[in-house]
Structure 1
Amino acid sequence: MTGHTRVDSPCRIYGRTTELAAVAALSDQLLPQRVGALLLAAEPGLGRSTLLARAAREFTLGPVLRPRPLPRNLQSYDGLRALLGEAAGVRGGAPPPVSFGAGRPDELPALLRQLLPGGEPLLVCVDDVHLWDAPSRAVLGAAVRHPDPGRPIGLLLSLPEHRSEELEFSGWPVVRFGPLDDDAATTLLRDLTGGCLDPAVRAELLSEAEGNPAVLTSLAQRLTPDQLGGRRPLPRPLMDGGALWATFGSRLAPLPAPARQLLLLAAAAQEPDPDAAGADASLVLRAARKAGLDPAALDPAEAARLVHHDGDRITFTGALLRRTVYSGAPSSRRRAAHALLASVIDADRFRLRHLLHLALAVQGPDAVLAAGLDEAAAPGTPTSGMERSAALSRAAELTAHEGARTARLTAAADYARLSGHPRRARRLLAATREGASPDAVQGRTELVRGSMALRDGPVGDAYQALLMAAEHLDPTDAEAALEARMEAMDAAWAAGDAAACIAALTEAPLTTPPRDTAFAYAPTGPAAPFSPVRRMASVRSGPHPHRQTQTQTEPHPAAAPRHPMLDYRAGLRTAIDGHPAEAEPPLRRVLDRAQHDDDPTRLLRAGVAALVLGDIAAACRTNARALAVSRSRGLASLTPRILEHLAYAELRAGQHARARAHAQEGLRAAHRAGQRNVAAGQHAILALVASVEDDAAAVAAHAGAAVAIARPHGLLQAVTLAEWASARADLCRGRPFEAAARLGPLTRPGPGRGHFAVRMLALPCFVEAAVQSGASAEAKAAVEEFALWAAQGTDPQAPAQLARCRALIAPPDDSADALYALALDRHEAVHGDFERARTQLLYGKWLRRRRRPAEAKNRLRDALVTFERCGAPAWAEQTRAELRATGEAPAPAAEGGLALLTPQQLRIARCVAEGATNREVALSLSVSPRTVDHHLRNVFALLGVRSRTELSRLVDRAERGSARP
């Protein structure tokens, strides 16, 4: 195969479960009723014509009439004549001569019965019915109001979304098409390309098409097999104006020329930041007036629902539509639009925006303009990260010198990454040329590339790229080199390589005082450093991300102020090396300095320091403050990691509901920012929360999702957390053999074990599972190792858990009694209701086996109340079973109502009661639609309801009842 790939659009429908069900329901209702009607409404390219064709092909109850498309210059009743001509063709004759202008519009059923005698149902399918003449549309509408008593007739019509409220079809049921989800779009791509598609290319195509199947098909047809397979670079732009116009041009072509000119100005105004919430209306209208355009020229575009003008912003109704307007115009008209916009921008107040539009209006290298863009994009100016990225990208295009061009492309990529647009960042990095720039520039490029790989790629690759960056940066930029080494340490931590962590933290000590810089650093993971994040929203200014700094003369060590990173780096290095007492002073200084800080990256460092020090409450507090700051500043690349830190700290504190809420939010933020490695960590946290709440389906789904990302990317920490969650779910369900088999390889010393900072947290679970499954020798060895860990004081729960583990392996005498009592005493000194309840449950079991039922009941009652308060129903049920075994009949769970539901079922029931679809519930709770469907069936069975309406009423009554005093 040569040239562009030739692919055939598959005939199957992708996704569209709701739409297919609605069409099937139309056919079903024709037998008991005499008429049925349905409108298929969608914007171009979303597949309404394909669905209508499939419905016509699969209708088996009787004849199908599907008239041919009509020319644009229609006479009255031309649409109806075409329909009757189709009917006559089915019968094998000519349509009767009917004077439609003098007839009544409700005569259509009689005419069709005359042409097609019989009583079987008839389906009329009309594609693009909005193109029919108004009298013919009125006849179709009347056919629903005046059904044929002798023959059922179904009307299935398609039209664009913006025409779905045509008066002739007022009150008809409407099925509105949205974009395909990623799963359906991925399946379509696989069928289009025969599966020969590189994952990175697939991600690019999915992002470019935005769920539009027609655009996705056009993209696949445009690329060669080598491009689809990732062996050759993709063309830029990936989707050209001609292809977009072929899909969306029908929406724009009918507009008058002044309206199209105004739309081009609006599209050009938004080009520097395509993801912004529309274009500045005042800027667009000033440019329009200068060009002699009346602002009222926008009215036809608004009437056609192409744009919305709310006074401040002019917003296109779809991103693909804006791209069609912009890229579909000739380049000379695009340049003229940018020149016009630049001429009406206040160059003193909005220098970057003015220069950027000037730059987009010129051709060829322009060193002066490129330098102006470079200067105007410096941190501290009132503009967005994406505008900075666009400015530096355009400056690179105007730059002839290869080194300066690479430096500007790298800075543009970094701003795009920090703004949460990793695909744009990768495209910009791909345009840099290796070996054509000085070491400092290459170091910056590798630093950005490695930082992106750390968040979305194999962390082993990220580690090597970041060390290479540090080597290039060491001679000229000590701070950037330190940044690269801290990022490398992140990669080593995620991979579970303690030696590599220490190596990254040890190299090239920084002794110079900090510069007033836009760089900042933040930690990540349960107790790990996090990658650097430039304080884009900070009021402080600093050197440009790609600008080299001069080597400073190092002052006398006694006079040099201590760099804020030194305490953090020294404390972490010492802690990882196994000397927690020596690590405490520097990490305590980090935590102390953060008490009144408002920099989110420093707060993240303090949160990690708190975890290493065993101060879980401080970790929750500082991470919550970091989240508040990050939200207020819109730090799209930092927020997912902050949410991961906060959720993990809350999980360690036993605040499971809060951990779940923040992990769910973090999962969505990670997906938006393209940070799959962060998403894996959030999935693992959600699996651990679900293992407490006894939601086996959620545990399996989240653990599976975490491992699916973590294993190929080398994320040992996420794998260990996910396996721990699965093992705890096994233990909760009374499957100790399975739990021990999962945890054994992760907790044993030696190669192939779990993450060095997580395995000890999971070890108490392994001891419990090993004892219950008869592996006492392994349990005893694990307890001795856990004792060493507990003595370090880095986990506040460890002393109580150690006493519990010693009680589990104690000989069959009364020595366990004192150990359980010691464990409960130690639990009282720290927060952690769930762990305390587990100790009470095990103590109660032991007391019952020792035939001390009265004491056992007291412990078990306390455990039951705590498990119920923690939202752990399966653990509570274990406790009830033990209570029954003591001879007590504990009060059963409240019968009837929402008390019968598990926490996950209750969340789903409430979402459905609020009107959410299964898919919307799945997105909200970060589970699959299949999981939602499974839980919803159980909810219906438990509550005895038969419909979503009944469920909504029941939930409403229960919630109102619980709100009464």
Structure 2
Amino acid sequence: MTGQSTRGSAPLRYRAGPRRQTFAALLDGLRTDGGAHVVTGEPGGGRTAFLEFAARAFRAGPVWYVRAEPACSAQPHSGLRTLLRAARHFGHVPGDGTAGEVLLDILRAASARSPLLVCVDDAHLWDTASRAALGRVAARVRAADGVHRVGLLITVPGHRPVQGELAKLPVLELAPLMPGDAAGLLHDLTDGAVDPAVRDELVTEAQGNPALLLALAHRLSPAQLRGDHALPRPLADTGTLTAVAGGCPNGQQPDRNGLLLAVAAAMRATGEQDAEAALVRRAANGHGSRDDDVPPEPSEPPQAPELLAVPGGRLRFRSPLVGRAVYAGASPERRRAAHRSLAEAHPEPHGVPALLHRSWAAPGPDAVLAAELESAATGLTSGTPPALRRTAQVRAAELTPDDAQRARRYTAAAEQALLAGHPPEALRLLDAAGSRPAPPPVRGRAELLRGRVLLADGPVDDARESFLLAAGLLAEPEPAQADAAVLGAADAAWAAGDRQACLRALTHDVHDVHGTSVEAAVAGAFDLRAVGANTTGLKEAAAREAPEESSAHRGAAPAQPPVPPPTLLRDHRDGMRAVLLGRFDLAAAPLTRVVDRGRPATEPERLLRSAAAALMLGDVGAARRAGARALAAARTQGTAALEPKVLEYLAYAELRAGRHQLARTHAEEGLRAAHRAGQRNTAAHHHAVLALVASIEGARARVAEHATAALTTARRHGLAQAALLAQWAVARADLGEGRPEEAADRLGPLVRPGARRGHFAVWMLAVPCFVEASALAGRPEHARAVVEDFALWAGCGADPQAPAQLLRCRALLAAPEAADELYLCALDRHDETSGDFERARTELLHGKWLRRRRRLREARARLGEALVDFERCGAQLWARQAAAELRAGGVAPSGPGTGEPRRHGARDLSLLTPQQLRIARCVAEGATNREVALSLSVSTRTVDYHLRNVFATLGVRSRVELVRLVEQAEKTGAQL
């Protein structure tokens, strides 16, 4: 094996990844102080590219760049002559051991005028004499022994240890490319023409090796790169691996007893980067015995030690690529023999690793061995790691001669791949499951799983069709699975914003709890106006219907014919369908049962359904609790595929509760989890949440970044909900920056009636923002119709913020004599819910309205409250708006949102509103908050809120300070 690096073409440029600062510091040191370093890395790992990068970056002086010439390596001092020619020295090279001194003299002369960089690529291919001379020179350069301002970079392959004089030099090991850098390299090579799914598979297969990545890309046709044609299997074949590795030591001389192949085979079975040394030696030496009296082997392997490392009783290849090439380059007979020896030598002959070795030693299908593998992998007490379990199930499928059993086992393996966070692998296994005939139940389970994969990472319309196909195939043999498929189809249609498709899925042969179809009860399409007059809050309807449900379960005579208790899936299905049809009274009871049944549950799927039902009910507290428990359960059970979705529900629940910072925390974590699990659709939802949070915080660049990311996937995969939320975030950022016209133009098509209206379940959330933008832009007539629609939504009780937002919208559009009272009523409704941001927006708008009517004292108080609330929730951009309004009213605001330090001790009682003055006076008289609330006929929470604002406005920190201030005002005759 030569280990020669593949010389990079133009696209193979150096990418430092996370070690960029380390390499930059190294190059800076070479420019200023010189020094010698050995650069190593596995074959194809970018040593040549790094050296070329260093040579281009060195501008302080000349660069001598040389590569080894393998054809001349047998000639003494041939390598040294190559370097001297690069230095323009064509004199005689002595052969008596003083050649190094000649090179030192040349380096001293060249570096006297300016710094010098010498790059020697693949020095391991030099002749022995040249390597010895180079090592002595490098040692002198490193010690600055008579040689200054000379930088020396020497590359050698990393699959063998650095030997000889070079072993004493500092070693810089090039790490594999990070996935993002590998994807960027592939994008450059193909000019962006590679399909994302193909790109991800190439990046995974290359394992960070840039030369292998390029070789794989060059192997594919343009149609395969675009994803139009199937990829070859295996993707990295024997020829590609051995070409990049520079050959393969599979002959008798380098691997006399098969030690290298045994290590490679053992690593293939476990999926780990190393193998147990004792097991491999027993197998390689042909013992095949598990007795304790086998004599121990020496601590170092006797054959080809330079390719293997021996850390802590384990054997591993110094280069993972070489290990893959060793296995791929061996003949099928030798591979089977290696696996057979490992199976015989394994201490647990019926464990999954031993059975896997037996499976790879089998010459063809073996039904008995396949059954053993499946049993060992799925046993409850096996303790098998998920990755090994998945490998065993795949092998069991490959060994199965029966088509139906084969498809079932491929589907089971695909489910494990999905749970482990590998959707592309799951889809490949499902394609394998569908390649042979199978009975309807097997095909149905495969399509159900395909729908789940596509819902998280694919076109959601395709996911819906897979779910519906699964529901039809599973309706008779497995009705519970069919219910799950129907609900999955509804979830997919919901994500796509297709309400009719969602209803078609949910109303297929399903009846409500009273035995009549909901669509018959409603008899028409969903129309907020049609049901608005009869709509009651979901929570109130749940409370009204719960006693009837419980009495029916106790055996009392119900008003309607008794029916069996509905399952969790059926309840969720009935409640979701009723919500879509506008029958919120019928939706409350089944959704409440879903929430209640989730409380004692420990399965993350049930808890996730409970959180979704709570969000439809508007019970954000229950949604947050169920989501937190689902997250804990998913992490405990190791279901990586569920974590991103659970965090998505948690982030949305926090947004609905007005807890934007917590929403950002969950969304950031969810985004990382979604990327790890390969769930681009879920990642798009997290990007949308982060864009919404950034629009509150005033980070315009982050809004654009996350909104663009969300819209890119949303448009590609048909995610209407994520798309609307992302556009809403951009519009809210426009509004926060004082551009109401742009915000109104952006939101108008999404919330006004028509074909362009956004997602049916989300557009109303953006209505308050649109109404505000339209009013501030001088177009109130554009918003009047949507306010009436929003009023019906607010009456449903599904959004705790909506009633106060509705009053604010009406105030924006009302005549002056009615607006003031509407703003005050809106603020009272805000007291009933959490969420500083929405309250602060109402305060800001009221303050603006008061200031424009020259009611300056009231305006200053209201704007001061808005400023404090905006600062409290981190909405700095909006805080600056409030501060600007205060300055326009003649007040110089202070605090975090204004760039000025807040002045404590501002004693102007005139800044207080009449309500705040009354509360301050009661407190000064010694009344408790509860007593104040009783005397003023308000809630204790309202008193708490106003008292906090009194403290902030006056700059006091305690009741004692407030009493003193009020007493001082009375003495000076101030009006209270």
Number of aligned positions between the proteins: 839
- Find the counterpart in structure 2 of residue 761 from structure 1: 765
Structure 1 position 660 matched with structure 2 position 658: no
SS in 2 for 1:751: coil
Alignment match of 1:869 (pick from 859, 869, 872): 872
SS in 1 for 2:151: strand
Cα drift, residue 273 of structure 1 = 5.3
Cα drift, residue 245 of structure 1 = 3.3
Going from structure 1 to structure 2, the CA distance change for 1:714 and 1:107 (only over 3 Å counts) comes to same
Cα drift, residue 587 of structure 1 = 1.2
- Find the counterpart in structure 2 of residue 547 from structure 1: none
Find the aligned partners of 2:457 and 2:267 in 1 and give their Cα distance: 28
- Find the counterpart in structure 1 of residue 605 from structure 2: 601
8 A contact 2:66–2:86 mirrored in 1: no
Q: Which amino acid aligns with 2:568?
A: P
Structure 1 position 69 matched with structure 2 position 68: yes
SS in 2 for 1:178: coil
SS in 2 for 1:337: helix
Cα drift, residue 318 of structure 1 = 6.7
Going from structure 1 to structure 2, the CA distance change for 1:70 and 1:466 (only over 3 Å counts) comes to same
- Find the counterpart in structure 2 of residue 240 from structure 1: 237
- Find the counterpart in structure 2 of residue 154 from structure 1: 151
Going from structure 1 to structure 2, the CA distance change for 1:314 and 1:587 (only over 3 Å counts) comes to farther
Find the aligned partners of 2:428 and 2:627 in 1 and give their Cα distance: 33
Cα drift, residue 268 of structure 1 = 3.3
Q: Which amino acid aligns with 2:120?
A: V
Structure 1 position 356 matched with structure 2 position 353: no
Alignment match of 1:127 (pick from 111, 117, 121): 121
Find the aligned partners of 2:414 and 2:394 in 1 and give their Cα distance: 8
- Greater shift in the superposed pair: 7-16 or 567-576: 7-16
SS in 1 for 2:443: helix
CA displacement 1:347-376 (0-9 Å, x = unmatched): 68x544443332222011212222333444
- Find the counterpart in structure 2 of residue 918 from structure 1: none
Find the aligned partners of 1:433 and 1:887 in 2 and give their Cα distance: 74
Cα drift, residue 389 of structure 1 = 2.9
Alignment match of 1:852 (pick from 842, 850, 855): 855
Alignment of 1:492-531 (within 5 A): 492-509=493-510
- Find the counterpart in structure 2 of residue 451 from structure 1: 452
Q: Which amino acid aligns with 2:47?
A: R
Going from structure 1 to structure 2, the CA distance change for 1:796 and 1:64 (only over 3 Å counts) comes to closer
8 A contact 2:880–2:898 mirrored in 1: no
8 A contact 2:483–2:569 mirrored in 1: no
Going from structure 1 to structure 2, the CA distance change for 1:585 and 1:293 (only over 3 Å counts) comes to farther
Q: Which amino acid aligns with 2:462?
A: D
Unmatched 5+ stretches in structure 2: 1-6, 514-560, 903-976
CA displacement 1:461-515 (0-9 Å, x = unmatched): 2212221222222232222222221211111000111121122122244999xxx
Structure 1 position 185 matched with structure 2 position 182: yes
Find the aligned partners of 1:43 and 1:127 in 2 and give their Cα distance: 14
CA displacement 1:225-255 (0-9 Å, x = unmatched): 5544445432221112343233346897999
Find the aligned partners of 1:293 and 1:202 in 2 and give their Cα distance: 49
- Greater shift in the superposed pair: 181-190 or 586-595: 181-190
Cα drift, residue 642 of structure 1 = 0.9
Alignment match of 1:642 (pick from 629, 641, 646): 646
Q: Which amino acid aligns with 2:143?
A: R
- Greater shift in the superposed pair: 568-577 or 764-773: 568-577
CA displacement 1:410-460 (0-9 Å, x = unmatched): 222222122212222222233345573323332233222222222111111
Cα drift, residue 713 of structure 1 = 0.9
8 A contact 2:36–2:141 mirrored in 1: no
SS in 2 for 1:155: strand
Alignment of 1:224-373 (within 5 A): 224-248=221-245, 261=258, 264-272=261-269, 274=271, 290=288, 294=296, 296=298, 309-310=311-312, 320=321, 322-345=323-346, 351-373=351-373
Going from structure 1 to structure 2, the CA distance change for 1:696 and 1:310 (only over 3 Å counts) comes to farther
- Find the counterpart in structure 2 of residue 786 from structure 1: 790
8 A contact 2:847–2:858 mirrored in 1: yes
Cα drift, residue 558 of structure 1 = 7.0
Alignment of 1:176-215 (within 5 A): 176-182=173-179, 184-190=181-187, 192=189, 197-215=194-212
Cα drift, residue 880 of structure 1 = 1.2
Find the aligned partners of 1:154 and 1:8 in 2 and give their Cα distance: 23
Find the aligned partners of 1:70 and 1:485 in 2 and give their Cα distance: 67
Going from structure 1 to structure 2, the CA distance change for 1:583 and 1:695 (only over 3 Å counts) comes to same
Find the aligned partners of 1:837 and 1:824 in 2 and give their Cα distance: 9
Structure 1 position 687 matched with structure 2 position 691: yes
Alignment of 1:940-955 (within 5 A): none
Alignment of 1:10-159 (within 5 A): 10=10, 13=13, 15-16=15-16, 35=34, 37=36, 39-53=38-52, 55-56=54-55, 64-69=63-68, 82-88=79-85, 91=88, 93-97=90-94, 99-100=96-97, 108-112=103-107, 119=113, 122-129=116-123, 133-146=131-144, 152-159=149-156
8 A contact 1:611–1:619 mirrored in 2: yes
8 A contact 1:422–1:452 mirrored in 2: yes
- Find the counterpart in structure 1 of residue 581 from structure 2: 577
CA displacement 1:171-228 (0-9 Å, x = unmatched): 9887653333455434543554566544433332122112321101221233345544
Going from structure 1 to structure 2, the CA distance change for 1:340 and 1:562 (only over 3 Å counts) comes to farther
Q: Which amino acid aligns with 2:197?
A: A
- Find the counterpart in structure 1 of residue 626 from structure 2: 622
CA displacement 1:594-648 (0-9 Å, x = unmatched): 2222111111111111111111111111101111111111111111111111111
Going from structure 1 to structure 2, the CA distance change for 1:327 and 1:453 (only over 3 Å counts) comes to same
Going from structure 1 to structure 2, the CA distance change for 1:277 and 1:91 (only over 3 Å counts) comes to closer
8 A contact 2:160–2:307 mirrored in 1: no
Going from structure 1 to structure 2, the CA distance change for 1:304 and 1:695 (only over 3 Å counts) comes to farther
Going from structure 1 to structure 2, the CA distance change for 1:267 and 1:635 (only over 3 Å counts) comes to farther
8 A contact 1:670–1:678 mirrored in 2: yes
8 A contact 2:352–2:376 mirrored in 1: yes
Find the aligned partners of 2:252 and 2:61 in 1 and give their Cα distance: 41
Find the aligned partners of 1:856 and 1:754 in 2 and give their Cα distance: 36
Q: Normalising by structure 2, report the TM-score.
A: 0.77
Going from structure 1 to structure 2, the CA distance change for 1:470 and 1:160 (only over 3 Å counts) comes to same
8 A contact 1:699–1:725 mirrored in 2: yes
Going from structure 1 to structure 2, the CA distance change for 1:266 and 1:42 (only over 3 Å counts) comes to closer
Find the aligned partners of 2:85 and 2:377 in 1 and give their Cα distance: 69
Find the aligned partners of 2:766 and 2:854 in 1 and give their Cα distance: 31
Going from structure 1 to structure 2, the CA distance change for 1:98 and 1:143 (only over 3 Å counts) comes to farther
Q: Which amino acid aligns with 2:364?
A: G
Cα RMSD after superposing both structures: 4.0
Going from structure 1 to structure 2, the CA distance change for 1:726 and 1:338 (only over 3 Å counts) comes to same
8 A contact 1:35–1:147 mirrored in 2: no
Structure 1 position 820 matched with structure 2 position 823: yes
Find the aligned partners of 1:445 and 1:433 in 2 and give their Cα distance: 8
Going from structure 1 to structure 2, the CA distance change for 1:771 and 1:728 (only over 3 Å counts) comes to same
8 A contact 1:739–1:766 mirrored in 2: yes
Find the aligned partners of 1:418 and 1:602 in 2 and give their Cα distance: 16
- Find the counterpart in structure 1 of residue 420 from structure 2: 419
Find the aligned partners of 2:888 and 2:512 in 1 and give their Cα distance: 66
Find the aligned partners of 1:869 and 1:831 in 2 and give their Cα distance: 13
CA displacement 1:638-665 (0-9 Å, x = unmatched): 1111111111111222222222122112
Going from structure 1 to structure 2, the CA distance change for 1:231 and 1:790 (only over 3 Å counts) comes to closer
8 A contact 1:412–1:428 mirrored in 2: yes
Structure number with greater Rg is 2
- Find the counterpart in structure 1 of residue 832 from structure 2: 829
SS in 1 for 2:599: helix
Alignment match of 2:883 (pick from 870, 880, 884): 880
Going from structure 1 to structure 2, the CA distance change for 1:16 and 1:802 (only over 3 Å counts) comes to same
Going from structure 1 to structure 2, the CA distance change for 1:832 and 1:300 (only over 3 Å counts) comes to farther
